[in-house]
Amino acid sequence: MSETGSQPEDEGLILRGRIEDTSVPELLRSVLGSGETGVLTFRRRDVTKSVYLHMGRVTYARSSDPDERLGENLLLRGKITIRDYIEASKLIAPGRRLGTILIELGALEPEDLVAALEHHVKEILLDVFGWRTGEYELIMTEPGADDVVAVNVSTETLILAGIRRIRAWSRVYKGIGGDIEAVPVPTGNNEPLLRLELTEEEQDILTHVNGRATVEQICQASYLSNLETCRVLWALMVLGVVRRDQPGEAAVRAEKAAEQEKELDLEGMVENFNQMLSRVYVFLQGRVGAEVDAFMDDALERVNVQYGSLFFGVDLKQYGRADYDQLLANVADLPPIERRRLMLAGLNELVASIQLGVKERHESQEEAVVSGIIKEAYRRLGVP
């Protein structure tokens, strides 16, 4: 937003610019996000729309288009009759607003007026989102008493609804940065989402914004069309939930991705151990019933002498399985290589403890079956 105006004696600071040099969504987010108070006016040809702001909130809106007045809006939506409209219009005078007159005539319930005003304000403003050319002007000054109306129009809802109306691909493409190979990155600021009602398809798009998938890849995974998907990404960028990646971030992401691959490999390794432990558990349960839990506890207790930090909070009562998330949390502070080494050593020791317990408490037949299960699992793990 550029400052090209002066500061008249009885007015606040004036900021002016051209719509084609910015975009209405970014402009509105900037003005409202900075908590401005004043009047934001849009002009295109013979139409002027004024949006009244108070501390970063939209409080009212007016349009010079006669078809965008409150009465016409109510008539179009079937909220009042033609007779109501004509009779109320005759009674409009300084200090007497149409909404109040309609209530006095019984044409509109008091509780319906606020909703009608909010809808009216939103429709005036949302139409501007479709403008490609025109001028804007922000006069930062206290609004008059007649321009402060108790409406509750969410900034986030306005921006999302406005961008949803945009059909021009050129504007959407520019909005997402003009690069389908770019990688949208979550900002971690999810507060705006609390004030939005995203559709299931829009929520699905958000789940694919992981700092690795490109715009094109997100489009391929989305249930919406490519244009609609990019439009949602643009809205999330304007709202600060998502941002465009910066130069150099690709290398950092690649390094993190490599580390995550190692973690996935580690999870696969633990899963192979868990499959082994589960097979042993089920076999012993068939022999000793519920006593298998006590047997597994004893085996884990022997290992805890050396690997207590690794197995802290872990039990084997869920079919003998060691919870991977708990194991990982216990060693999260270690470097990836050391983390893997400790897990592998601890799980090997646990298997040895179970094998020893079977040898001490069961017959040779049970020992042979358990040894076979362990041998087969180690073969899958690539351990000789």
How far apart (Å, rounded) are the C-alpha atoms in residues 291 and 370?
17
DSSP letters spanning 59-118: EEEEES-GGGSHHHHHHHTTSS-HHHHHHHHHT-BTTB-HHHHHHHTTSS-HHHHHHHHH
CA distances from 190 to 24, 194, 219, 236, 237 (A): 22, 7, 22, 10, 12
> Would you call 289 helix, strand, or coil by DSSP?
coil
- The total number of residues shown for the chain amounts to 384
How far apart (Å, rounded) are the C-alpha atoms in residues 27 and 23?
6
pLDDT for the residue 135: 93
DSSP letters spanning 142-210: PPPGGG-----B-HHHHHHHHHHT---HHHHHHHTTS-TT---EE-S--GGGGG----HHHHHHHHT-S
pLDDT for the residue 220: 93
pLDDT for the residue 262: 53
- H or E element in which residue 52 lies: strand 47-54
pLDDT in single tens digits along all 384 residues of the chain: 444 444 444 445 888 899 888 888 888 888 888 888 889 999 999 999 998 888 888 888 889 998 888 888 888 888 888 998 888 888 888 878 888 888 888 888 888 888 888 888 888 888 888 888 899 999 988 766 555 555 667 788 889 999 999 988 999 999 999 999 899 999 989 888 888 889 999 999 999 998 888 999 999 999 999 999 999 999 999 999 999 887 666 556 555 555 554 554 788 888 888 898 999 999 999 888 989 999 999 999 999 999 999 999 998 887 889 998 899 889 888 888 888 889 889 999 999 999 999 999 888 888 899 899 888 888 876 655
Considering the entire predicted model, what is its pTM? 0.57
How far apart (Å, rounded) are the C-alpha atoms in residues 358 and 354?
6
How far apart (Å, rounded) are the C-alpha atoms in residues 138 and 334?
54
One-letter amino acid identity for 179?
D
> Do 91 and 101 form a contact (C-beta atoms < 8 A)?
yes
